[in-house]
Structure 1
Amino acid sequence: MSTLLKEFDHHVQAQQYASADSLVESLLQTDYIASLERKDALQFLYRIGYVYPELTLELSKQRDDVPRPFKDTLRIALGDIPSLRSYNQADTLVAIKIALMRHKALWAKLLVYRFYRQYALQPINLVKSNKLTIGNNRKKVKKNNNAQKVSIIVTTYNSAAFIENCIDSLLNQSINNIEIIVVDDASTDNTVDILKKYLTIKVIKLSENNGTYHARNIGIEQSTGYFVTFQDSDDWSHPERLELQLKELLNTSTAIASFSHFFRVDQSSGLPICRQNYPLLRLNLSSMMVSRSVLDKLGRFDSSKRIESDKKLFELIKSIYSSDSIIYIRKPLAVGLYRVNSLTTAQKSGFNKYGFSDVRHLI
């Protein structure tokens, strides 16, 4: 991390927002961004891009190696709609966003197809009525045998609106030796009633709401798989997610955990989105696949906290095990729902415009 980024984050964490503003504004009078190593410059620009899109666009002019897709996301944040693009790999998501904003649904469908093909994944049709949908996939996949059972823990709380897409995506995985355990954290809607139609999954209904990490730990206790993974109730998994993560674990002798990537879709607009603006394809902490024995050794999730315990466990794994023990599959193996009043967006547990959260800062 560059000295400049450390200084900016120090101001934000101290809630000295005027000082953070002044720091960025002062850079317009210098060529400091141009003098940084590319990695440090981009890290800083990405960090401030969603806070000051206009200033960041201006600062980007100091360099000729700032990715064009990133600059497109800044223009979108400022209310502009860039021309239709054709980008590669993760940046295809930016092109898809632009196509949908320009109401070019057919072009967006072709880009989604091309997006998955670039990662050698089965293409999924996610475009419906000029929006991206979560789990618009009814094509049954061929099931492959796996000797080691995988348990998938899903925690729910008032998830009636999206739980079917979540469970359907898990039942449509390309491996067959799995168990799905849903732990309902005292929902007050009809989530549990909806789950009754799934005869092959195990549903545990809790009488008191104690948070998703408490519910996950209960699911782990009830699991019988050699490996355990997780999925949020408003997420959808690509049919090949479990197979690819399991394959990497089994084929890498030093591996103890695997993670995949995902992107989010805004529930209201139907556009790919992330809180930080860019890049849109990001690490999915909930995708962690790990052996049950390692989870037991690490003490599972800290259920005394309602947020950030997955990140805390992730950091613990990194501190104990070598870097080659963690496998990162940088493929779009899930789609998450970005919605109001989730743990990420709610006022009490979410982030402000500077990317700061009082609650999360204390953890």
Structure 2
Amino acid sequence: MTTVLPRTSREVRLAVVPEGLPEPAHFTVVETALPAPAPGQVLVRNRHFQVFGGLRTLIGGAAEDTPVPGLRPGDTLFGPAVGEVVAAPPGGPLRPGDLVRHLLGWREYALVPADGCAPVDPALPEPAAHLTSGSAAYGALTRLAGVREGDVVLVTGAAGGVGSLAGQIARLLGAARVVGTTGSPHKAERLISELGYDAVLTAGSWRERRDGADGTDDDARRAFSAQLAEAAPDGIDVLLDNVGGVQLGAAVDAARQGARFALVGALSGQLAAPGSGATAPARIDTFRLVVKGVSVRGYTGIDHPEVEAEWTGRLDGWLRSGRIRLPLTRFEGMEQAPRALRELTRGRIFGTVVVDLPGHD
């Protein structure tokens, strides 16, 4: 049976560069003519797409040297998406009805190069599982940190899309103790009861500094260091850092000999209310880095293109065996996507943020 396609498609565009954190008023949902595939392209009807915090930096007007380009007013937002192929070139590997993953979310229909689509196993009970940031957590822990049996691992920003999977992955790779951080006692309870963290620290929250709480960064660092010393009295072997700021500084102080630090995000700067989200200064003890032989490296998926396929294979196995859980916070409908980004940048989300698009045949 031939699918009857609509004449138009809706998408979310940046209307104005925000001064501070994004609000729904900074975006607009527009209706455009349905694009027609050219040779080598497929037309995909999106079912789900991810909302990720890094968009704040990309829409802030000052993004430089980022793995993907910044966004200007009038540009359509983008991000990981899962959808169904509705038109594909003859003789290619993809057929109408195939489920694929690609990077052109924030729109109902996406025109994607055929080589920019990755097939998704329709047998998985949750296709949106392929929208998580698990590949970043897995890549950082395997390529940069090299988690070993018996390691003590600290994950900052543990309740986010990366952190909610990083702790579980570290455990599956052999970590003996996994400690996380979050600014919310409620999230801390969930991280321990649902995702297997041994301890979760709530002192030194970067959001308190962002929201103007009393005290200085030195106060926050001392409070965080005290909690970290209690949770990991012998220090840490691995840091997967999503935050930066005082938490990164305190982690350096707690590093064991030969500790490996993998920096994945910098939420203390990316989600700071003032500025563009494009800088994240931190004060660290470089002398301790030297005498403890600590390695500090930043992770981007572009530098490790083989990780995505490796992660997908391991995720499938871990999901089927029930060894990993995928906390998702879901929003329904294109119009809710700007609100989802606002909630994410305010720290009101647990896990990965997914926008579900209802059927529109």
TM-score w.r.t. the length of structure 1 is 0.32
Structure showing the higher helix proportion among its residues = 1
TM-score w.r.t. the length of structure 2 is 0.32
Structure of higher RCO (CA pairs closer than 8 Å, 6+ residues apart)? 2
